[in-house]
């Protein structure tokens, strides 16, 4: 049986994390940048390091206000 309270709590936490990162559009942009890194030149370890840096980036102040 589905526990809707837990499901709602998880959805709320996910929304909070998305908002903390600057919103859905900012996350889509970040995902596109990571995809570009994955398809780009370099070794797997270099790509992983570059993608990790993008993932760790804090949102810009103008993105947080969205």
Q: Domain residue spans in the chain? A: 23-66
Residue with tokens 């995809």: 35
Q: Which two tokens stand for residue 14?
A: 């996910």
Polymer length in residues for the chain: 66
Return per-residue pLDDT of the chain as tens, 66 residues: 889 999 999 999 999 999 988 899 999 999 999 999 999 999 999 999 999 999 888 876 655 555
pTM: 0.67
């Amino acid at each position: 049986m589905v526990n809707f309270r837990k499901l709602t709590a998880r959805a709320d936490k996910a929304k909070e994390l998305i908002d903390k990162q600057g919103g859905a559009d900012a996350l889509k942009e970040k995902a596109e940048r990571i995809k570009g890194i994955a398809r780009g030149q370099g070794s797997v370890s270099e790509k992983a390091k570059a993608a990790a840096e993008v993932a760790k980036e804090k949102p810009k102040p103008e993105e947080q206000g969205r």
